[in-house]
Amino acid sequence: MVGSKDHRRTRLILLYSLASVLLFVMVYPYLYMVLNSFADWGQVDRKLIPTSYSLKSYSWLFTGGESGVSRPWLGAFLNSVIVSIGSTVLMMLFAVMVAYALSKLRFRGRDTVNNFILFHMFFPSIILLIPSFLIIQKLGWYDTYWALIIPKGMSLWAIFMYTNFFKAVPTVFIEAAKLDGAKDFQILYRIMIPMSKSITSVIFLFLLMERWTELLWDMIMVRSDNMLTLNVLLSQMFGPYGTYPGPLYAGSVLLSLPIIILFIIFGKNFQQGMQVSLK
């Protein structure tokens, strides 16, 4: 029996080391990014783990350094915040509203709308790119926040997730609330939203992350420097800063950090929510 206990222990140690090594490999690119953002410029991309460090890359971001190509990094960061939060709030709001109607309200045409959303979801959206650009121009939204926020303010996936989740909420609760004289909007934010806390954090995080890292749309819709999102600015600097990779790593940290922090804050909810949403 002692032998089998030892055997079990070795197996566990082996499993944990394997998982840790694998995890390290997967997270290493992030580590590489952070280390290189603080590395002395002579060592950027020259060492697996740099040996001397400086804050030059970060100060370069804000001053533009001696090259004179000062770029609006801080402004781009704020644009990203405005645009991502704006779009995500709209996506959440609309998803909850539409999902409530599709799951709990009986109305003529409901099945048609439901089926159409599924069709829309799986439709290859690439065909819409060029005419959408045109529509934005016709609406006079080109190079404004509207172009970045409104067209990205609807998530069919979120509607789909909420509809499935709301279907599982017992109708009894809603009827009871109606007897107490609650209006549908009240039911929505007093019953449905509090009951879906766990998947709300998952959906919110996914939507925010996707919006935060969007490139193609944000690149096409905007022309002026002061409207760029951080992701687009970083992408634009790929070439010109090629000889100065340090600041690019610093910019990458600036772009990656907020999402990772949010993920850690919501991490606990995220685990539960993920399990609920996958059932």
Partner 1 sequence: MKENNNRLGWLFTSPYLLYSIVFFFIPLIWSFYLSFTNWDLIAPDFQFVGFDNFAKALQSPSVHAAFWVTYKFMLVFVPLVSVMALIVSVLVHSLPKYKSLFLVGFFLPYLSSGVVSSLIVKGFLSYNSPLNMSLRKIGIRIDWLGTSWSALFIVGLIMAWKFTGYYALILTASLESIDHEVYEAAAIDGVNSKQRFWRITLPLLYPGFYTTLILAFGVTFGIFTEVYQLTGGGPNFATNTWQMEIFSQAFKNLQAGYASAVALLASIATFVSIYIIRKLLEKWGARNGWV
Near partner 1 in 183-202, by CB under 8 A? 184
State the Cα–Cα distance between residues 135 and 196, nearest whole angstrom.
35
Is 3 a binding residue for partner 1 by CB under 8 A? The answer is no
Among 189, 216, 240, 265, binds partner 1 (CB under 8 A): 216
- 212 near partner 1 (CB under 8 A): yes
Torsion of CA 236, 241, 245, 246, to 10 degrees: -100
Report, in Å, the least distance between residue 24 CB and partner 1. Answer: 9
- The interface region with partner 1, picked from 66-74, 140-148, 192-200, 211-219 by CB under 8 A, is 211-219
Question: Residue written as tokens 């290493």?
Answer: 28
Q: Is 19 in the site for partner 1 (CB under 8 A)?
A: yes
Residue 230 C-beta: closest distance to partner 1, Å: 9
Single residue of 1, 26, 172, 179 touching partner 1 by CB under 8 A: 26
Contact by Cβ (8 Å): 40, 53 = yes
Residue count, binding to partner 1 (CB under 8 A): 79
Is the Cβ of residue 54 or residue 252 nearer to partner 1 in the bound state? 252
Q: Which of residues 69-98 bind partner 1 (CB under 8 A)?
A: 94, 97-98
Q: Which CB sits closer to partner 1, 17 or 70? A: 17
The pair of three-digit structure tokens given for residue 17, joined into one six-digit string: 């080391």
Q: Judged by CB under 8 A, does residue 222 bind partner 1?
A: no
In sequence order, what are the residues at sequence separation of 6 or more whose Cβ sits closer than 8 angstroms to the Cβ of residue 171? 104
- Contact with partner 1 (CB under 8 A) among 55, 105, 168, 176: 105
Using CB under 8 A, pick the residue from 6, 7, 9, 23 that binds partner 1: 23
CA distances from 92 to 162, 176, 230, 265 (A): 10, 26, 23, 19
Binding string to partner 1 for residues 246 to 265, with x set by CB under 8 A, is what? --xx--x--xx--xx--x--
Is residue 128 part of the contact set for partner 1 (CB under 8 A)? yes
Per rule CB under 8 A, is residue 131 in the interface with partner 1? yes
Position 35 contacts partner 1 (CB under 8 A)? no
Could you say which of 124, 170, 181, 194 contacts partner 1 (CB under 8 A)?
124
